[in-house]
Structure 1
Amino acid sequence: MTVMTDRPHMLTEDFEAVARIAARAREGTRLEFIDGVIRSKAMPDGDHQTIIEWLTRICMQYRPELWLHGGQGIKAEAYRGGRAIPDAVLAPSKAFAGQGDWVDPDPILMAVEVTSWDSDTHRRDHVEKPRAHAETGIPVYLLIDRAKCEISVYSQPNGRRYESTHIVAYGKDVELPEPVGITLQTEVLKDWVR
């Protein structure tokens, strides 16, 4: 894949206008703009949503001052010219009030992705998103991979990539490092795979 760093497909402002039109024209169409390339994001299925619900309950129990915001568009990448829609982000409950469709990522403690079954899942969730979130400075990126039955925890962003990646199989406990500071018991995730 060619990354268009010198000449994106379009300006960020133009992308935002197209994304708004697509969302209104076909309910559920979600577009992202990473590395100057427009990508569509699959609609979540029932198991996907159940995993987000499971994670929301855990976050509420251990970090009640925070909220797991679902589907929030964020300004991504080093210069914030990208636009990403993580499945959820952990941030203070009113962190994005008044910001519109694409919010400043500074208050985000963790971005979350749950893999979908579309063909570009690996490239998007394992390559592009970790890089974009690390460039943005989001402290933790949690990837719940339903095809591999694994959880990847990326941490210690250095402005280009995450310096630490910890991968565990479903069924094992996994610690989300500070500033999140939650341990997930992942046995239940085995119920939500195909």
Structure 2
Amino acid sequence: MSAQPHSETASYVADDPETALKYAIQHIRGDDRVQIVEGVIEPLSPTWGHEKAADRIRNQIAPIVSKLGCLSGSGNLDLPGSSNWYVPDVAVVPEELAEAEALVPDQTLLIVEVTSTSNGDTDRIVKRRRYAEYGAPLYLLVDRQQRTCTLFSVPGDFGYTRVNGPHPFGTPLPLPAPFDLELDTSEF
């Protein structure tokens, strides 16, 4: 898709619904964060159990993320040409791109989504399809309802072409290069 950071200078055009919607959610007052999934604005309000899983992953990958000159967080991901603006639970991105307002999925090294009862199918189906479409190289789905982890890799025209899982929590999950580590899933 793109090797450059997402443009922060996109102009607001009243007759462009995608731009207007994405502009509006970026200018919400207060600390409320939202994402747009297939044109529907969704507020983000993760539970502590949800945050625990994301935190366990960030802690395990932190040494490698640092060595790679990257950082991990939950910054904005734009999917240009669609009505989608995602806020993943964890994304690993090159540090030199960190000042951008938003990145596109192919600028990440890894995206992690942790399911919630209210929107698990969004992470299982919609985001998996869209992340592959937009070239995210690795998508880790931590399914708290099914108590499984699945790693999707090698994005193709019709979705990810490699699937490792689902594995029950407690099963070590290997993350391929550039991470080359075994993820401990026992505390999700």
Place the TM-score, normalised by the shorter chain, in its bin.
0.7 to 0.9
Please state how far the C-alpha of 1:182 moved relative to its aligned partner.
2.5
Cα 1:170–1:132 change in 2 (3 A) is: same
CA–CA distance in structure 1, aligned partners of residues 77 and 142 of structure 2: 19
Q: 1:59 to 1:11 in 2, by over 3 A?
A: same
- Aligned counterparts of 1:105 and 1:150: Cα–Cα separation in 2: 23
Kept in 2: contact 1:87–1:114 (CA 8 A)? yes
Q: Which amino acid aligns with 1:112?
A: V
Aligned to 2:112: 112
Q: Which amino acid aligns with 1:42?
A: L
Instruction: Indicate yes or no: 2:73 matched with 1:75.
Output: no
Query: In structure 2, what is the Cα distance between the partners aligned to 1:104 and 1:127?
Result: 19
What is the identity, as a one-letter code, of the residue corresponding to 2:34?
Answer: R
Higher relative contact order (CA 8 A, sep 6+): 2
Tell me: CA distance 1:156–1:106, structure 2 relative to 1, closer, same or farther (3 Å): closer
Deviation of 1:114 after TM superposition, in Å, equals: 0.6
Question: Could you tell me how far 1:81 is from its partner in structure 2?
Answer: 5.7
Counterpart of 1:133? 131
Residue among 21, 25, 28 paired with 1:15: 21
Matched AA of 1:60: A
Question: What count of residue pairs does the alignment treat as equivalent?
Answer: 170
Task: Give the equivalent residue in structure 2 for 1:147.
Answer: 145
Q: For residues 33 and 121 of structure 1, do their structure 2 counterparts lie closer, same or farther at Cα, with a shift above 3 Å needed?
A: same
What SS does the aligned partner of 1:17 have? helix
* Partner in structure 1 of residue 45 of structure 2: 43
Specify the code of the residue in structure 1 equivalent to 2:79: A
The residue type equivalent to 1:82 in the other structure is: N
Q: Secondary structure at the match of 1:171?
A: coil
**Any stretches of 5+ residues in structure 2 without a counterpart?**
1-15
Q: How much does 1:176 deviate?
A: 1.7
> Which residue of the other structure, out of 60, 84, 88, is the alignment partner of 1:86?
88
Report the CA distance between 1:111 and its aligned residue: 0.9
Q: How far off its partner does 1:29 sit? A: 4.1
Cα distance, 1:180 vs. partner?
3.5
- TM-score where L is the length of structure 1: 0.78
Name the SS of the counterpart of 1:188 in structure 2. Answer: coil
Q: CA deviation at 1:52?
A: 1.7
* Maintained 8 Å contact 1:171/1:186: yes
